[in-house]
Each structure stands twice: as C-alpha cells, then as structure tokens.
Amino acid sequence: MTSSTGSPHMAAASCGPARWPMTIQTRSSGSGRQPCRMRRCGRRSRTGGTWTSWTFSWVPGEDDIKLSDADLRAEVDTFMFEGHDTTTSGISWFLYCIALYPEHQHCCREEVREILGDQDFFQWDDLGKMTYLTMCIKESFCLYPPVPQVYRQLSEPVTFVDGRSLPAGSLISMHIYALHRNSAVWPDPEVFDSLRFSTENASKRHPFAFMPFSAGPRNCIGQQFAMSEMKVVTAMCLLRFEFSLDPSRLPIKMPQLVLRSKNGFHLHLKPLGPGSGK
C-alpha cells in the first residue's frame, strides 16, 4: 500500500489474488519435488504415523479404505487451493464492486455498523444478520464468479432435453461465468443488482441458475466457511475504509482456474474516523 498524492487521507491499494509459491500449473502437473515429498509423507504415515495419519483418517467403519499417495496429494491441493485462491478472488472482486457502486457500499456499511453496535467484535450469530451484505457478496459472485468454469467426467451416459446425448467418460465443462451473464436467466445481467438475491427473488429462480460454488453432490465442501470468512473480512473492511476506484487502472479480467485481474486491483482507501466504526 502506498500513499496517494491526491490527499493525505487517501491511500491507493493494489492487490491481486495472493498466490502460493508453487504455481497452480506446477501443482496440477505434478512437476518439481512435490510428488517425492508426498511419497515420503505416505511412507512415514504407514510406518510410524505423522500428521497424515489423523488429518486424512476415514470415518469409523471404513478403515479398509486407504488413501493412495495421489489421493493425499489431491486432498492437500484442495485444502490449499480452494481455501486460499478462490476466497481471495471473491473478496477482491467484491471490493471492486462496492467501489464501483458507492450506494451499495453505503448500505452495506450502515448495516454492519448497526449489527456491531457497541461491541468490539462480531459474534457468530451476527453473520446471519448481515442480509444486505450477503446479497451484495452474492451479486459480486454472480458477475465475477471466483471459479469461472468447472469440469466433470460423466460416470454414466446422459441424454439432454433436446435429444442429444453424451457417453460415459465424456469430459464436460460447465461455464459458470457465461451462465451468470445469460440474459435468458438473469434480466440485465451486466447490472449490479443486489435485490436479485432477496429471499423473494431468489425463490423464483432455478436452483442451478446461480452456482459460484458449483452444485449438486460434488459442490464446494467449504462454501459455508467461505461465505462466513468473506462476511467477516468485508465487514471489517467496510467499518475501517471507504473504497473508491482508480479510474486509470481498472481491473482486466483474466479467467484461469480462478478469475483474476491481469493488472491487480487498484482502489483508493479513505480511512474512516473513530466514530465511523470499530
């Protein structure tokens, strides 16, 4: 974060989704030293017991099922990737949205202030009261889904409503970004409209119209934690800062495994006074 030349009370923040030292491509391809490390972990867990013994233990009654080294590595990748890159992307795009639409930012901030009251910290039950903030987070997910597409391999043949079919083993792509901007599903899909996610409006949509965490039995196992994490982080940010855009450096969408900004996120942060929040 660097000082802005425009005002002593302004700061320019440039933040891109943080990345692990080893790139996603390297983790996916299995290159480098990681497979060797996983093999060593696997041997130690089978012989003397290490953190893998209890971290990846199965539920009672399934002791005959063993995790292979490849399974262990896949689980570790899931913990690191799904719990880090995607949430960072979601928070970054949300902050961009509220900087772009200050009226929504104001409403979110007022709601958070009212909920916090004279407390120093949020309580768990407070997260369920953040109705408008949740609606805005979901709308930012709709416009900028952290994972723009997901892939699935069919375990059995599928026949679609138009009569076309795919055989078992087919690899299919579900383009979440395109779904969320489909005008046949979402009226005015390019407009930031938090009211799409009011209880009344959400109940009228197909349950698979909005799927930032995928859907069905293979959806994101950590979606509830991710939403709670985002509410806490964004609420604390709203209490402390007012966000506005740097019009000279708008984000450039770069869809990869995670929806990133090619040039980062450049926002002006104006610190709010002591009476504006905790």
Walk me through the domains of the chain, giving residue ranges and CATH numbers: 83-276 (1.10.630.10)
Which residue numbers belong to the known binding site for heme? Answer: 220
Q: What is the pTM of this model?
A: 0.74
C-alpha 239/C-alpha 114 separation (Å) is 11
Beta bridge partners of 241: 271
Give the DSSP letter of residue 57: P
- Paired with 158 in beta bridges are 166
User: 143: closest CA among 101, 103, 176, 116?
Assistant: 176
| pLDDT for position 70 | 84
**Rounded to an integer, what distance in angstroms lies between the CA atom of residue 171 and that of residue 166?**
9
Q: What pLDDT sits at residue 222?
A: 81
What residues are designated binding site?
220
Beta carbons within 8 Å of 262's beta carbon, 6+ residues apart: 251, 252, 253, 254
Sign of CA dihedral 196, 200, 202, 205: negative
Q: Report the alpha-carbon distance of residue 199 to residue 202 in Å, rounded.
A: 5
Residue 84 parent element (H or E): none
Residue 72: the pLDDT is 79
CA distance 179 to 219: 16
pLDDT, block means (10 residues), the chain with 278 residues: 38 38 39 46 48 50 66 75 82 97 98 93 94 98 94 92 94 93 95 96 93 85 89 96 96 92 96 67
Rounded to the nearest 5°, which phi and psi values hold at 185? -105, -40
